[in-house]
């Protein structure tokens, strides 16, 4: 039985979500206060966290950030705000998906199932990839896929977030081919995510800032109206 932490200060909403989750056979813990929610999230093992954005004591973004420093527990942000900036900043702080209030409970349940399914698939694929230690090279980057570490030829480690890493690897796996924004969204955030394609642009920018060499052409080529691609050195010269 999956165990879900609900951090929500609107008590009626929290209770409603809790009842619905119980009805679906989830085990639930509810906290109405941000600090207590964070304590639970860190001290217990949950399969997913439903996290409100505006909370007393500690806001949802800060909770997501601190949970993410310690754990990979999937987080779905529940936010009343509806701007790309808030969504991106939620995702940036480590949330896996978000849902805009007011929401239909069916939508929340669907997102929760999607997140839990994704974790299961990731766990399965990680146990496969760990067994085959692999080094991938792209331009001056060396990627140890088993440890998900990226470094330059000079040995300097490039600190990438999980999504930046997945974005880079998806592009490299499709080297010399265009990967559309939709493909990237589906690959990195999951086929059922609520995330808009302009979030991909934001993450490509983050990734470029980390891997590109200043003053040189970007490693990631924008293919106008389509998506992105990375190419081998030879192709660029051609
Ligand atoms: Ca609130």
**Domains of the chain with CATH codes:** 3-127 (3.40.50.2300), 135-230 (1.10.10.10)
| Ligand 1 center–CA 44 separation, angstroms | 22
Sign, CA dihedral 62-65-69-70, equals positive
CB 50 within 8 Å of CB 8: yes
| Ligand 1 center–CA 12 separation, angstroms | 11
Q: Where are the beta strands (DSSP E) in the chain?
A: 3-7, 27-31, 48-52, 75-79, 97-100, 135-138, 141-144, 149-152, 157-158, 179-180, 220-223, 227-230
| Ligand 1 center–CA 13 separation, angstroms | 10
In this predicted structure, what is the pLDDT of residue 198?
A: 84
| Ligand 1 center–CA 56 separation, angstroms | 8
In this predicted structure, what is the pLDDT of residue 83?
A: 62
As averages over each run of 10 residues, the pLDDT of the chain (238 residues) reads 96 96 96 97 96 93 91 90 68 84 93 90 66 77 88 87 92 93 90 82 94 93 93 57
Order the strands of the 97-100 sheet from edge to edge.
27-31, 3-7, 48-52, 75-79, 97-100
| Ligand 1 center–CA 50 separation, angstroms | 12
In this predicted structure, what is the pLDDT of residue 238?
A: 39
CB 53 within 8 Å of CB 61: yes
């Amino acid at each position: 039985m999956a165990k879900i932490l609900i951090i929500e200060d609107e008590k009626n909403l929290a209770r409603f979500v809790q009842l619905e989750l119980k009805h679906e056979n989830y085990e639930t813990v509810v906290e109405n206060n941000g600090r207590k929610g964070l304590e639970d999230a860190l001290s217990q093992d949950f399969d997913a966290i439903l996290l409100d954005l505006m909370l007393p004591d500690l806001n949802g973004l800060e909770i997501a950030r601190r949970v993410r420093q310690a754990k990979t527990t999937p987080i779905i942000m529940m936010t009343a705000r509806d701007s790309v900036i808030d969504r991106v900043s939620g995702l940036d702080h480590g949330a896996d998906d978000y849902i805009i209030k007011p929401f239909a409970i069916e939508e929340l349940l669907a997102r929760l199932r999607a997140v839990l399914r994704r974790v299961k698939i990731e766990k399965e694929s990680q146990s496969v990839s760990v067994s085959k230690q692999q080094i991938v090279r792209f331009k001056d980057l060396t990627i140890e896929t088993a440890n998900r570490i990226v470094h330059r030829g000079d040995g300097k480690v490039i600190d990438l977030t999980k999504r930046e890493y997945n974005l880079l690897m998806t592009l490299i796996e499709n080297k010399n081919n265009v990967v559309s924004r939709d493909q990237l969204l589906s690959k990195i955030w999951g086929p059922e995510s609520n995330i808009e394609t302009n979030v991909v642009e934001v993450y490509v920018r983050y990734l470029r800032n980390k891997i590109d060499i200043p003053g040189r052409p970007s490693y990631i080529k924008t293919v106008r109206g389509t998506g992105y691609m990375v190419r081998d050195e030879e192709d660029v010269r051609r």
